[in-house]
């Protein structure tokens, strides 16, 4: 077996939905052994959110579940039974990490809080991922993608002046929370590897967004510095052209402005009207009349070009740019294909589909999908057998509705 970055690290995963499972997916796909604890008969809520092949819902074929739970093993345990709690405590003894995303206080009620478990395994890194953190007035509040971006993120200034604030595409903030929680988890894991002492990590999704480089830190600091709020409007002030424009076969986005004016003129084939020195000053870039004059030349030019032509022309002139691709174009993009941005995963029930692939490439320690997302309780017998449960025990636990 190839050595992976996290080979030898065992993680108990008591998360569900998107953020927590993305954290443990990152760890699993780079080699950690992840045991996913699910509720018997019900399982992770991601099993119900789809999308489903042919739009027919099935507990084993939800796209988000299949994507987020690769390389994990599924163990069904009822945490509301003593025998179920006992199983988790036995697993904790040999695990390195526990990640959970219950409402604050729930794990304590089960008898599985950090203080309950650190006496079993002092090296355990215990990661709690919650909506608002383990403390504070909002700790029991609910969260969704839009509410997360509204409260923690920069939704206020995203969108247009005369419209309501606008969220990002589906799940973007929940994934970001999962990625930041992976950073927190790995910090704790590395610390425990060094000195053998585990700790409790409190990850608040709201703070993952409030502390995000997606403008929120900067807009808050700008308010501290100036008392000004970053308004919701198209970012036009660094000059023109800037933003999304319609073109011959769709839409294209690029950045010109004061820093790239000469490149823009070159891209446009150096029309004589634009060679006048009046354009190349910061003041000109703020002048609405000159902007209109520029657009009279620019709009007809861009409307005649395709996205691909524009991408090549703008890149040849070192201008930051890209087409607005739809998912059909993304799947067909030869570069993304060649670089393996996506990968085929075969699942015994769902079948074969393309999924997003390795988020990064490590030269020595590969990212690999060894097993597709598990079926509900697929590894219950195997995992309990490993810690000494007999066939008879399993029968008894099933009868008690414990596994």
For residue 33, give the 3-state DSSP assignment.
strand
Q: How far is the CB of 14 from other proteins (least distance, A)?
A: 18
What end-to-end distance do the CA atoms of the chain give, in Å?
A: 31
Q: How far is the CB of 129 from other proteins (least distance, A)?
A: 9
Q: Which residue shows structure tokens 């023109």?
A: 240
Name the residue nearer to other proteins (CB basis): 64 or 274: 64
CA distances from 304 to 121, 256, 292, 313 (A): 66, 19, 19, 13
Q: How far is the CB of 350 from other proteins (least distance, A)?
A: 8
DSSP state of 251: E
DSSP state of 279: G
Angstrom distance (rounded) from CA 187 to CA 26: 14
Q: How far is the CB of 379 from other proteins (least distance, A)?
A: 24
Name the residue nearer to other proteins (CB basis): 224 or 289: 224
Q: Which residues contact 225 (CB under 8 A, 6 or more apart)?
A: none
Name the residue nearer to other proteins (CB basis): 1 or 272: 1
Name the residue nearer to other proteins (CB basis): 77 or 203: 203
Name the residue nearer to other proteins (CB basis): 298 or 389: 298
Q: Residue 203 CA to chain centroid, in angstroms?
A: 15
Name the residue nearer to other proteins (CB basis): 260 or 379: 260
Beta strands 10-14; 33-38: pairing state: parallel
Name the residue nearer to other proteins (CB basis): 211 or 271: 211
Name the residue nearer to other proteins (CB basis): 83 or 369: 369
H helix or E strand, kind and range, residue 250: strand 250-255
Q: How far is the CB of 390 from other proteins (least distance, A)?
A: 35
> Helical H runs in 5-102?
19-29, 63-68, 82-94
Q: Categorise residue 295: left if φ over 0, alpha if ψ from -120 to 50, beta otherwise.
A: alpha
> How is 301-344 classified by DSSP, letter by letter?
HHHTS-HHHHHHHHHHTT--EEE---HHHHHH-HHHHHTTSEEE
Angstrom distance (rounded) from CA 184 to CA 354: 30
Q: How far is the CB of 107 from other proteins (least distance, A)?
A: 14
How many CB atoms sit inside 10 A of residue 115's CB?
Answer: 9
Q: How far is the CB of 353 from other proteins (least distance, A)?
A: 5
Q: Which two tokens stand for residue 9?
A: 């690290």
Q: How far is the CB of 65 from other proteins (least distance, A)?
A: 10
């Amino acid at each position: 077996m190839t050595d992976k970055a996290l080979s030898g690290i065992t993680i108990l995963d008591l998360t569900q939905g998107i953020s927590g499972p993305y954290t443990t997916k990152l760890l699993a796909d780079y080699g950690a052994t992840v045991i996913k604890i699910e509720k018997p008969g019900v399982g992770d809520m991601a099993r119900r959110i789809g999308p489903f092949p042919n739009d027919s819902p099935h507990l084993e074929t939800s796209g988000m579940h299949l994507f987020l739970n690769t390389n994990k093993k599924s163990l069904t345990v009822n945490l509301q039974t003593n025998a179920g709690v006992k199983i988790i405590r036995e697993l904790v003894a040999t695990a390195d990490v526990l990640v959970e995303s219950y409402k604050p206080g729930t794990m304590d009620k089960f008898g599985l809080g950090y203080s309950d478990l650190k006496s079993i395994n002092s090296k355990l890194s215990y990661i709690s991922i919650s909506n608002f953190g383990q403390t504070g007035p909002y700790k029991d509040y609910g969260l969704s993608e839009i509410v997360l971006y509204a409260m923690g993120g920069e939704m206020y200034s995203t969108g247009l002046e005369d419209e309501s604030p606008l969220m990002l595409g589906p799940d973007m903030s929940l994934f970001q929370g999962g990625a930041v929680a992976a950073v927190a988890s790995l910090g704790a894991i590395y610390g425990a590897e060094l000195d053998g002492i585990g700790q409790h990590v409190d990850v608040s999704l709201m703070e993952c967004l409030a502390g995000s480089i997606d403008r929120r830190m900067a807009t808050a600091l700008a308010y501290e510095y100036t008392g000004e709020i970053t308004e919701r409007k198209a970012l036009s002030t660094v000059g023109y052209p800037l933003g999304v424009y319609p073109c011959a076969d769709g839409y294209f986005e690029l950045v010109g402005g004061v820093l790239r004016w000469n490149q823009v003129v070159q891209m446009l084939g150096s029309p004589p009207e634009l060679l006048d020195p009046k354009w190349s000053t910061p003041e000109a870039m703020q002048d609405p009349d000159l902007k209109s004059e520029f657009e009279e030349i620019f709009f007809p030019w861009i409307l005649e070009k395709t996205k691909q032509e524009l991408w090549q022309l703008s890149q040849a002139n070192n201008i930051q740019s890209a087409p607005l691709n739809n998912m059909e174009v993304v799947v067909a993009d030869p570069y993304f294909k060649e670089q393996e941005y996506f990968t085929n995963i075969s699942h015994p029930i769902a079948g074969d589909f393309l999924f997003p692939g390795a988020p990064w490439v490590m030269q020595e320690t590969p990212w690999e999908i060894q097993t597709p997302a598990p079926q509900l309780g697929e590894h219950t017998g195997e995992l309990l057998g490993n810690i000494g449960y007999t066939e008879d025990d399993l029968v008894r636990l099933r009868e008690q509705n414990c596994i």
